[in-house]
Amino acid sequence: MKIAVINFSGNVGKSTVAQHLLSPRLHNANVIPVESINSDGNDAEAIRGKQFGDLIEALAIMDDAVIDIGASNVEDFVNQMKQYRGSHEDFDFFVVPTVSKHKQQRDTISTIEALAEIGVPAKKIRLVFNMVELDEQPERIFSGLFEYHASAKTFTLKPDAVIHVNDIYGKLKGSEQTIADILNDPADLKEQLKAAKDSDEKLRISRLIGIKRLAAGVTEELDAVYKTLLK
């Protein structure tokens, strides 16, 4: 399966969705960044939007892949899909993460419109409600998107495709380690904590235990989101 994670807006959690939601559930599929410059200032391993032809060729030999399209490259990426007529058909889904801020919701609508304009069918455009507080209802804080869906019908809206705010995402920001990596780590942290003599080492292990507990809880949520998002 080939999935593009896309939104004209930044700060909606595209990389979080690509790395923690999609890749681990697609046989640890490669996450391919389409970005001018990575956050560390090194663009050696990133694919620029104008290298779209090379990307499409690479996808042809992959069984599974997640394309993480940086906000600064989305317009270029869409324009390339227009030039490579029918290239949008190489993607099984376009996953559009969004957050509740008004600007990001407007940008989300612009993203959906741009995809629909080049012929991406509604069944392939899937919305993910991201960074939602536990006591918030998506129908209320994303009311504009629900209303837009009711009138436009150009994308698929699943009210249960909700990723809640969780400390683990901040703790893993900038790390190559995924939530799945943490959960599958066989190390017996409780035994390590018992054996630790140094207070700093005990604190370090205690923090790892806390992160692993967060990982267990959030994994259940992500499993459910993935199941409802792509069914």
Rounded to an integer, the average pLDDT of 42-54 is 62
What tokens were used for 74? Answer: 């989305």
What was the pLDDT predicted at 99?
A: 98
Q: Are 132 and 165 in contact (CB under 8 A)?
A: yes
- Cα–Cα separations (whole angstroms), residue 209 to 30, 52, 202: 28, 42, 11
Token pair in block for residue 222: 């992500």
pLDDT score for 53: 87
Instruction: Tell me what pLDDT residue 178 has.
Output: 87
| CB contact at 8 A, 107 and 8 | yes
pLDDT at 35 over 80: no
Are 100 and 132 contacting, i.e. CB atoms less than 8 angstroms apart? Answer: yes
Predicted confidence band of residue 36 (pLDDT cuts 50, 70, 90): low
**What pLDDT sits at residue 44?**
40
| pLDDT tens for each residue of 136-182 | 999 999 999 999 999 999 999 999 999 999 999 988 887 888 898 89
Residues 65-75: tens digit of each pLDDT: 999 999 988 99
For the chain, domains (ranges, CATH) are: 2-173 (3.40.50.300)
| Mean confidence (pLDDT) of the chain | 91
The predicted-structure confidence for 174-224, as pLDDT tens digits, reads as follows 788 889 889 989 999 999 999 999 999 999 999 999 999 999 999 999 999
